[in-house]
Amino acid sequence: MTSAAGRPDLAPAAPLAAAPTSAPRRWGRGRTLDYLGLLPFALFVTLFLLWPTAIVLWGAFQDPIDGSLTLANLETALSGRYLRSFQTSILLSAITALLGAVLGALLAWAISVGRRDGLLRRLVLAASGTLAQFGGVMLAFAFLAAFGFNGLVTLFLQAYFGIDLFAGGAWIYELTGLALVYTYFQIPLMVIVFLPALEGLKPQWREACDSLGGNAWTYWRHIGLPVLWPPFLGASLLLFANAFSAYATAKALISQASPLVPLRIGTFLTSEIVLGRANVGKALAFGMIVIVAVIMVLYALLQRRTSRWLR
């Protein structure tokens, strides 16, 4: 249609449809349901971690007689036989962490260079996952049944080879035997923790090193070891904390004395104590919390540095 002047009529343009907007996020009910899902975990952490930690922290600085604040508990925990217990626990944890880290890293490297879907790899990983959790009284009984005075290995070596495992003393019931038992479950734990770091090494790094004229030593010296060193240290710290806090295995093997801090704390909880020293056990537990907390902070820092490379 045209107007009388011969110009076309311009019909008014239809209004543009409003762009569809996304529905507002339901912050109220949806967020509440999310938090309700976390409630069982938060309750578990509060009852079995935060509340016992608060009791330990309060008791470590409290006089058991009049309830006043004092540093006497910490002074007692850091002197005499209690200080020697800390030294023995740290030494035992360091030795077993070092042995477990080195042997476990070598085992992890051996299975990392094999086929990812190979039978040997699956068997080692399955065994590591099981043996890393095989501890406590069961592990102590297994070693006593094998290496005790009347153990299977002891009697076999003595009957067929004339070797007396206890010629130098009852080592299985001392710190030497305890170190052997701890190393037994430290090695599979190292395999589980350190294997992802080994698998994070990219093949392109090795190819680039070879293309630039490098050899195996050059690759490990300038690429492999610098990348793996932080996760190796982090895993070693994790093994240290694991051995430092172990209780049931040591209690089953060493029942006549309490050379370790966890055993000292167990004595305070289950035995009669001297008047006025009821909270020394909590002071010992406070010392363990401080040491483990420092280790976990260092572990987190190393893991943060590792994540920059192994992505």
pLDDT single digits (tens) 183-234: 999 999 999 999 988 888 888 888 888 888 888 888 888 888 888 898 899 9
Q: Please, which pLDDT band fits residue 310 given cuts at 50, 70 and 90?
A: low
- Three-class DSSP labels, the chain: CECCCCCECCCCCCCCCCCCCCCCCCHHHHHHHHHHHHHHHHHHHHHHHHHHHHHHHHHHCECCCCCCECCHHHHHHCCHHHHHHHHHHHHHHHHHHHHHHHHHHHHHHHHHCCCCCCHHHHHHHHHHHHHCCCCHHHHHHHHHHHHCCCCHHHHHHHHHCCCCCCCCCCHHHCHHHHHHHHHHHHHHHHHHHHHHHHHCCCHHHHHHHHHCCCCHHHHHHHHHHHHHHHHHHHHHHHHHHHHHCCCHHHHHHCCCCCCCHHHHHHHHHHCCCCCCCCCHHHHHHHHHHHHHHHHHHHHHHHHHHHCCCCC
What's the Cα-to-Cα distance from 246 to each of 191, 243, 252, 265, rounded to whole Å? 19, 5, 11, 12
Average pLDDT over residues 11-24: 51
User: pTM of the entire structure?
Assistant: 0.83
Highest mean pLDDT among 8-12, 24-28, 221-225: 221-225
The answer to whether residue 149 scores a pLDDT higher than 50 is: yes
Query: What pLDDT is stored for residue 308 in this prediction?
Result: 67
Report the alpha-carbon distance of residue 81 to residue 79 in Å, rounded: 7
Of 24 and 261, which is predicted with more confidence?
261
The answer to whether residue 81 scores a pLDDT higher than 80 is: yes
Mean residue pLDDT across the chain: 84
Query: What pLDDT is stored for residue 194 in this prediction?
Result: 92
Query: What pLDDT is stored for residue 5 in this prediction?
Result: 47
Q: Please, which pLDDT band fits residue 65 given cuts at 50, 70 and 90?
A: confident
Of 268 and 303, which is predicted with more confidence?
268
Fold of 51-136+164-306: MetI-like fold (1.10.3720)
The answer to whether residue 92 scores a pLDDT higher than 50 is: yes
Average pLDDT over residues 92-110: 94
From 148-157, 228-237, 248-257, the region with the lowest mean pLDDT: 248-257
From 33-37, 170-174, 204-208, 261-265, the region with the lowest mean pLDDT: 33-37
Report the alpha-carbon distance of residue 72 to residue 76 in Å, rounded: 6
Residue 178: which residues within 8 A CB-CB, separation 6 or more? 92, 249, 250, 253, 254
Q: Please, which pLDDT band fits residue 244 given cuts at 50, 70 and 90?
A: very high
From 60-64, 156-160, 304-308, the region with the lowest mean pLDDT: 304-308
Query: What pLDDT is stored for residue 204 in this prediction?
Result: 87
Average pLDDT over residues 251-274: 82
Query: What pLDDT is stored for residue 289 in this prediction?
Result: 93
Report the alpha-carbon distance of residue 271 to residue 261 in Å, rounded: 15
111 touches 195 (CB < 8 A)? yes
Residue 247: which residues within 8 A CB-CB, separation 6 or more? 262, 263, 266
pLDDT tens, 125-146?
A: 899 988 888 878 889 899 999 9
